[in-house]
A and B are shown apart, each in its own frame.
Chain A
Amino acid sequence: MDSNAVQPIQFYEKKAAIVTKSAKGKFRNFKSAVLAVAYAVYFGLPWLPWTRNDGLSQAVMFDVADRRFYIFDMVIYPQNVFWLALLLFIAATFLFFATALIGRAFCGYFCFQTLWTDFFIWIERLVQGERTARLRLQKQPWNAEKIARIGLTHVLWITFSFWTGVTFVLYFGYAPDLLHRFFLGNAASAAYVTVLGLTVSTYLAAGFMREQICAFVCPYGRFQSVMYDPSTLAVAYDARRGEGAAGRIPARGALKAREARLEQGHGDCIDCGLCVQVCPAGIDIREGLQYRCISCGLCIDACNGVMNSIGYPQGLIRYDSESNLAAPVPAKPHLDWKRLKVVGYLVALVIMTGLLVYNINHRTDFEVSVRQVRQPLFVFLSNGEIRNRYQIHLENETDHDVTYRISEKGLPSGALDLGSMRQVLVHGDRSVIVLANVAMPPAEAESYKTFSFVVQPVNDPHDRIVQTASFYNEKVR
């Protein structure tokens, strides 16, 4: 090839993979505990049996075919989608609230990308050894050992990704039965597509893309920085203490003693680089707060370990606020919640949560919608009266037959004609359409422009739905 040939512009710069060292400490323990609980819930929940009227089922099941979502003793229908909307609002506000207080805690400890990446790294370490061993393995030529170790890692990753996908699918059917059919090839094609998609995406996202998901794909990570303010507690390196006047320097020879370092103007940071080696985002926290930091606290654990071993005080890297770090005399880091923003988020959270709980508690297990017949909007009868017609759609959401009583409110007596359907029996899980005729003399119609239909189960009259309807006369134009 011509050595002078112009090379095309490279749009993609290949990145060196981050190989992290494991850390020990309270944040690592907290992360591990969260991981254990989260995995126990995610992988275990589909296997929790639950007895329902129509037989044995599981505690949490999203029955898409029957459009019914079971969460323990609660049954949710598609028309309750507003709850989901409200729940997402609450989740978003909670994220804002937590971020304003303690930064990206969600990213660092609870996000599934973080959890799965963490677990994949744990598998990597189990098979290939600690960071140095893994780096050595990467450099060495392909031999039997390397093939065995790297191969085993990927086999485990793919197996775990596959089980992640299968578990997700198990939420959509009765787990023991669905799993059986899945492996016999009798499950719905959607199940296979979902499992394949989740296996591939989990394998790629947790095995290869890792911190790049947080930096380049995830929108939450990026917009959470807006919620930060100087009072927010974030993972921070105390540069004043670490750098001193003369900068950080390795603890060698005479500089091992803290007194000697302070005398020469050096800070407490011995530049061991452990905080960088443990970082799953591949950053150096000593360069300050940065968008890639998921605030997982592992650098705090690493630094505290080093500080302990050389007998320096802990907390060179710690959770602290920007304002406190800059203060002439830094106070003990504390949660500063007395801010308009934080309190505002909290108030919004409380109101929305209250609304959701109230709504769920006051729901009825039937649905009513009244539709006015609009062709024609009204009609004159032979006795001169005006008649409007309505279709009442009545849906029974329970699994047993229920008789409902339909009555009217705000109409002269005798105006409503329901035929024989004043009381109507609706079978479980079914719906019916009831026709309602309302007729009034034109003079009377003027004063009854709106009225209500009241629908209540005969056995439980308190559980009622009121729907307003309009009555049109010839002056409607």
Chain B
Amino acid sequence: MSQDKKTRQAPQTTGHVWDGDLQEYNNPVPDWWLIAFYISIAAAVGYWLVFPAWPIGGTYTKGFDTITYVNDKGVTKTTHWNTRALFLKKTNEAVAAQKPYYTKIANTPFEQIAKDPDLNSFVISAGKALFSDNCAPCHQQGGGGKMGLAPNLTDDDWLYGGHFTQIQQTITNGRHGYMPPFKTVLNDTQMTELADYVLSFSKVPVNPASAQAGNALFHSETAACYYCHGADAKGRTVIGSKNLTDNIWLWANVPAAQTVADKENVIKNVIYHGLDKGVMPAWKDRLSADQIKLLTVYEHDLGGGQ
């Protein structure tokens, strides 16, 4: 111990000397660190034996561990452990956990689902995921829609109807809205008159005489707007023609236009060119009937339904 005390301040060197005086301290890593290091090497060897590890030519060592899962064809398979099988296994477990709810939804009428707090809660949670994966690219996250692209699903204005069966039909088979161009049928003044008539519903201060002329033109055989938009201009859900009497716009961005002339122009633009872009794809090949039913209730919830 006394020897220890005397030498305690003197550092140990490796004995290597460069340039006459440059020495190297000998500070070996602590034993506990070395032991942990050797243990981790041993553990690595253990991992090689248990899990897939070394590539050998076109194949690899498979390891002892196995995993059993059900593949997408419904066949139970056992294979060496791998993350893809683990993913499938976990996905299947999650699907199985949802199964009772989907079965119940499939066997329950729409109105009952909306009234059942438990089922409706499942619709809100699961529907959010389905909606985000499939619908949100066009209708936006949350269903707020996008001017000139996809209608807002959270308001009470439904192009093709907001009843459960109508929504189900829309999702299952898709929709294709069409309005013919009127550039060869109507002149600029007539289109202005029609635009003023449409804007007058939304209390935009247009020239009353012009709007009155537009009214006549709307119901005439020349423009024949009422064929599709209806005599009351409220649209027809059978063909998805827009309700022109409310202040909700999809193709003509009236709210963004500042002056009355600008508002007229965005509507005239639609009349001039017509519309052939209101296309919603059919989802029956991509989603199951149960999923479509769930999404129907979810979207009915979104807009408050009809």
Contacts and interface: CB of A to CB of B under 8 A. Distances in A.
B297 to A, nearest CB: 11
A432 interface: yes
A242 B140 CA distance: 86
Interface stretch (B41-49, B112-120, B274-282): B112-120
B155 A382 contact: yes
Nearest to B26: A8
Interface residues of A, number: 34
B142 A373 contact: yes
B247 A432 contact: no
Given A374-B142, A376-B144, A9 B8 contact: yes
B8 A7 contact: yes
A437 interface: yes
Which of A382, A391, A420, A421 counts the most B-chain CB atoms under 10 A from its CB?
Answer: A382
B3 A7 contact: yes
A79 interface: no
Contacts of A373: 142
A421 B117 contact: yes
A6 B243 contact: no
Contacts of A425: 117
Contacts of B13: 6
A8 B121 contact: no
Interface string B93-137: 000000000000000000000110110110011000000000000
A430 to B, nearest CB: 7
A433 B155 contact: no
Contact of A7 (B4, B124, B140, B248): B4
B192 interface: no
Nearest to B119: A432
Majority-rule SS of A interface residues = loop
Given A7-B8, A375-B141, A375-B142, A434 B154 contact: no
A427 B118 CA distance: 9
A432 B118 contact: yes
Contacts of A7: 3-4, 7-8, 10, 12
B115 A381 contact: no
A381 B118 contact: no
B124 A380 contact: no
A156 interface: no
Contact of B125 (A9, A424, A433, A435): A433
B152 A379 contact: yes
Contacts of B120: 421, 432-435
Interface string A1-35: 00001111110000000000000000000000000
A8 B13 CA distance: 9
B8 A424 contact: no
B193 interface: no
Interface string B173-205: 000000000000000000000000000000000
Contacts of B142: 373-376
A373 B303 CA distance: 12
Contacts of A10: 4, 8
Given A382-B157, A383-B246, A375 B144 contact: yes
B156 interface: yes
A387 B304 contact: yes
Contact of A432 (B121, B243, B246, B248): B121
B117 A381 contact: no
A382 B12 contact: no
Contacts of B12: 5-8
B132 to A, nearest CB: 10
A7 B120 CA distance: 76
B301 interface: yes
Nearest to B304: A437
B246 A382 contact: yes
B11 interface: yes
Contacts of A5: 12
Nearest to A375: B142
Contacts of A420: 114-115
A389 interface: yes
B304 A6 contact: no
A434 B118 CA distance: 10
Contacts of A255: none
Given A382-B247, A432-B118, A375 B140 contact: yes
B14 to A, nearest CB: 12
A373 to B, nearest CB: 7
A419 interface: yes
B11 A381 contact: no
B10 A6 contact: yes
B233 to A, nearest CB: 13
A224 interface: no
Interface string A352-369: 000000000000000000
Interface string A200-231: 00000000000000000000000000000000
Contact of B247 (A380, A389, A426): A380
A431 interface: yes
Contacts of A6: 7, 10-13
A380 B248 contact: yes
A259 interface: no
Contact of A382 (B4, B154, B156): B156
B139 to A, nearest CB: 11
B149 to A, nearest CB: 15
Contact of B243 (A376, A382, A437): A382
A427 B116 CA distance: 12
Nearest to A427: B118
Given A7-B8, A8-B12, A376-B142, A424 B117 contact: yes
19 contacts: A6-B11, A6-B12, A6-B13, A7-B10, A10-B8, A379-B155, A381-B156, A382-B248, A387-B156, A419-B114, A420-B114, A424-B117, A425-B117, A430-B118, A431-B121, A432-B121, A433-B120, A435-B124, A435-B301
Given A375-B141, A421-B115, A435-B120, 17 more contacts: A5-B12, A6-B7, A8-B11, A8-B12, A382-B156, A382-B243, A382-B246, A382-B248, A387-B154, A387-B155, A391-B124, A419-B115, A425-B117, A430-B118, A433-B125, A435-B301, A437-B304
Interface of B: 3-4, 7-13, 26, 114-115, 117-118, 120-121, 124-125, 140-144, 152, 154-157, 243, 246-248, 301, 304
Those 4 A-B pairs whose CB atoms lie nearest each other, nearest first: A375-B142, A382-B246, A376-B144, A432-B117
Interface of A: 5-10, 373-376, 379-384, 387, 389, 391, 417, 419-421, 424-427, 430-435, 437
